[in-house]
Amino acid sequence: MKEIIRRCFVITFVITFVCIFAVAVAYAAAPDTVVFVTKTGSKYHREDCSTLRSSKIETTLGKAVAEGYEPCELCRPPVLDGEE
């Protein structure tokens, strides 16, 4: 019985790790990926983010990061490859 519980724990741990890694990779993107910023904000966003009500300026991910913008915690836009 203890061996079955141990195996279930190991399998659950491995599956969790693989899922977390897959999600991190899914959000990595190239510098020319389109993201959006606002006139006064410090974050970059996905196009459908609810925080983009007042202004919505299209830019590239590479440019946004170079200008010091950080990803929005709400809409979780992509990050540059290698910056996870």
- Residue 17 clears pLDDT 70, i.e. is over it: no
Name the least confident of 9-13, 42-46, 60-64, 73-77. Answer: 9-13
Return the pLDDT at 25: 44
pTM of this prediction exceeds 0.75: no
Least Cα distance to 40 among 27, 51, 28, 29 occurs for 51
Residue 31: how many CB atoms within 10 A of its CB? 13
| Residue-number span of the structural domain to which 58 is assigned | 2-80
Beta strand pairing call for 79-80 and 28-29: parallel
Question: What pLDDT is stored for residue 20 in this prediction?
Answer: 52
Q: What is the domain count for the chain?
A: 1
**Quick one: DSSP state of residue 57?**
E
What is the token pair recorded at 36?
Answer: 């959006």
